[in-house]
Amino acid sequence: MVIPQYPDVALRPKQKVLLFRALRRSMAEVERIMERFVAQELVHLDDAECDRFLELLNQSDADLMDWFAGIKVPPEGVNLDDLERLSRFKREPKGPKELNR
């Protein structure tokens, strides 16, 4: 598997597992968040960070969305720093505005 932004980087086994799990979500909204996250962060994650994010991906997409939106408080045991890091990718990056002329 290759990440378009880093085509020459060979992913380690744990990064490959994380990439596969991140891009196979049941909710399209969560999958888009994960796509943006792996595109920018995956190549920088060490094995311990991959393990932590895989634990986060064991949660349901509905729970993840509720936590991102602040509707529910994550239960004890959920790494809040990693959840916050992931939630930064909720919104599409803003690009140049197109003029309608």
Residue 76: inside a domain: yes
Q: Could you tell me the pLDDT band of residue 91, with boundaries at 50, 70 and 90?
A: confident
Residue 74: inside a domain: yes
Total tally of structural domains belonging to the chain: 1
pLDDT of residue 96: 46
Contact of 61 with 86, CB cutoff 8 Å? no
Residue 7: inside a domain: no
CATH of the domain at 80: 1.10.150.250
Indicate whether 9 pLDDT > 90. no
Is the sign of the CA dihedral 38, 43, 44, 47 positive or negative?
positive
- Which residue range forms the structural domain that includes residue 65? 13-87
- Mean pLDDT over 21-37 rounds to 92
The runs of H, that is alpha helices, within the chain are 13-22, 28-41, 47-57, 61-69, 80-87
